[in-house]
Chain A
Amino acid sequence: MEPLSALIDSILSASVDLTALAILLVFLPLFVVFTARGKAGYRFGLRPIPLYSRIRQLASHATESGSPLQVSLGSGQIGSEATPEAAMALTVFDYVARHAATCAQPIHGVSGDATLMAAAQGVLQNARQESGYPENYAGRECTFYGPDPLAYAAGAAGTFGADNHLALIALGEFGAEGLWLSEALADQATTRMGGTSDPSAAALMAASLDEAVIGEDVYAAGAYLHRPSHLGSLAAQDILRLVIMLAIVVGVIMTSLGYWS
C-alpha cells in the first residue's frame, strides 16, 4: 500500500491546471443531472434547425426511393482534437445508415481520414446487422480518398455523380474542401447540406450549401436526431453558456472600474 499512497501523494502535490479543472467541475454536475433527465424522458425545448429536419426527411425519402444519400464525414481524425466533430459526423451517419439498413437500402459514407473510415464501417456494419440484413454489409460502402483534403473532396464529388445519389450531407471537420465539394456538385440538381464548426470554413460552406449549420450547432446533431442523452448535455451547455456570458459581463464591468488590470 505504501507505494500507492506515495503515488497518490505525489499526484496531489503535482501541478494541476486549475482553470481548466474549475470549468470541468462546474460543467460535470450540470452534465450528469441534465443527461439523466434527458434519458429519463424529460423533453427539452429545441429551437428548429432546418438542416436536421431535412436530414430526417431525406433519410426517409432515400429509404423509400432507393437512391442512397452520401454522407461526407470530413477529415477529422479520431484521436486528434477533431474527435468530437468526427463523433458528430458518425452520429449523423449512424442515423442515416439505420434508416437505410432497416429497408436494406444502400448508403454511402466518404471520409478524408482513415480512422474515421474505419469507425464509419463499424457503424454501418452494426446497423446492417441489427436490421437483420448482415449479408448486405459491404465494407466498400464507406470509402476513403486519401488524407489530402482536396483529393478527398474530388473523390467524393466523383462518386456522387457516378452512383446517382439523392443528396449530399457534408457534416464534420472541413476546411476549404467543403466549398470545393459543394460547388463541384452545384451543377447537379441535387440537395447539398451540412456544416462544420470551423468558422472560416463554415462561412464558405454556408454561402454554397442549400442548408448549413455553423459552430456549435454541429454538436447538436445527436439531440436533433433522436439521441435522448444528447438532449441533456445540450441543456447543460446552455446553462454553462449563460454562466460564461455572465462572467464576461462581470469581467468587463470589474475591469472598467479598475478592480482588475
Chain B
Amino acid sequence: MKRIVPIGVAVLCGLTMLVDFFVAHPLVDRIGAILVEGVTILAAFALLLGLLVLLSTHARKLKRGSQPGLSLILLIALLGTLAVGVLLPGSATLTWLFDYVYYPLQSTMAALLAFFAISAVYRAFKLRNVHAWVLMISSLFLFMAQLPLAAAISPYVPMARDWLIAVPVTAGMRGILLGAALGTVATALRILLAVDHPYA
C-alpha cells in the first residue's frame, strides 16, 4: 500500500497530462492546468526542503569545524539575501546585491570555463585516433570561421562555416535529438504504465 498509492497517483496524473497534450478541450485543459499548478507548488516546496538541507549541512559543518569559514560565508550570504528579498522586494538594496555580488560572481564562475576548456582540449587534441583528428580540425576551423578575420582570409570561409552548421552539424544534432526523443518517450511510458518507478 505504501508503494501502490504514490505509483497510482503518478500514473493517474501522467495519463491525464497525456490526454491533455493530445486533446484540446476546455475541461481537459482546465484539469491539466490544475495539475500543472500543483507541480509548480510542489517544486516550490521542494526548493524549501532543499534550502533546509543546505542550511543543516552547513550548520553541521560549522559545528564540526570542517571548512567552517566557507560554511559561515555561505550561511551569512544565504540568510542575508533571503532577508533582503523577503523584506525589501524590488528595492535598491536587492539591485545592488545583484549588480555587485551575484552578477560578478556568476560571470567569474562562467569565465573559469574558458580555462577548463583549455585543459580539456589539451587531452582531447592528442591525435591518437581518427576521432581526435576530426575533433581538432572541426573545432579549430569552426572557431576561426566565426571570427571577423575569417572573411578577410577568404569569402569561402564563412560559406563553408554556414554549410557545416546547416548540413552535417544539424544532421548529427537531429539524429541525436531523435534518439533522445525515443528514449524520452520510452522512459515516460515506463513511468506512465507503472512498469518502472525510479522515484521510489
Contact = CB atoms under 8 A, between A and B. Distances in A.
A17 B116 contact: no
Contacts of B124: 207-208
A229 B190 contact: yes
A214 B176 contact: yes
Interface stretch (B52-60, B85-93, B144-152, B153-161): B52-60
Contacts of A214: 176
Contacts of B164: none
A90 B135 CA distance: 32
B116 A184 contact: yes
Given A84-B183, A215-B176, A78 B57 contact: no
B57 A140 contact: yes
A122 interface: yes
Interface string A128-160: 000000000001101111111011001000100
A17 B21 contact: yes
A219 B184 contact: yes
Contacts of B47: 114, 147
B166 interface: no
Given A79-B42, A140-B56, A219-B184, A14 B24 contact: yes
A186 interface: yes
Given A91-B198, A184-B116, A162 B66 contact: yes
A191 to B, nearest CB: 15
A216 B49 contact: no
Interface in B24-68: 24-25, 27-28, 39, 42-43, 46-51, 53-54, 56-57, 60, 66-67
Interface string A87-110: 110110010000000000000000
Contacts of B183: 84, 197, 216, 218-220, 237
Contact of A114 (B28, B46, B57): B46
Given A122-B200, A162-B67, A216-B179, A87 B116 contact: no
A84 B49 contact: no
Q: Indicate the size class of the contact surface on chain B.
A: 35 or more
Contacts of A240: 182
Contacts of A90: 198-199
B73 interface: no
B23 interface: yes
Given A7-B27, A219-B180, A204 B186 contact: no
A257 B190 CA distance: 40
B188 interface: yes
B133 to A, nearest CB: 14
Contacts of B95: none
A117 B199 CA distance: 10
A199 B177 contact: yes
Contacts, number: 188
A115 interface: yes
A35 interface: yes
Question: Main SS of the interface on chain A?
Answer: helix
B20 to A, nearest CB: 11
Given A114-B43, A237-B186, 5 more contacts: A10-B25, A14-B23, A87-B196, A91-B198, A237-B183
22 contacts: A14-B23, A14-B24, A14-B25, A83-B191, A84-B183, A84-B184, A87-B198, A117-B50, A119-B199, A143-B57, A186-B119, A186-B120, A199-B177, A215-B180, A216-B183, A218-B180, A219-B183, A229-B190, A229-B196, A233-B187, A233-B189, A244-B178
Interface of B: 21-25, 27-28, 39, 42-43, 46-51, 53-54, 56-57, 60, 66-67, 70, 106, 109-110, 112-113, 116-117, 119-121, 123-124, 135, 172-173, 176-180, 182-191, 193, 195-196, 198-200
Interface of A: 7, 10-11, 14-17, 20-21, 23-24, 27-28, 31-32, 35, 77-79, 83-85, 87-88, 90-91, 94, 113-115, 117-119, 122-123, 126, 139-140, 142-148, 150-151, 154, 158, 162, 176, 179-180, 182-184, 186, 197, 199, 204, 207-208, 214-216, 218-220, 222, 227, 229-230, 233-234, 236-237, 240-241, 244
Q: Which 4 pairs, one residue from A and one from B, show the smallest C-beta to C-beta distance? A: A219-B183, A114-B50, A216-B179, A183-B116
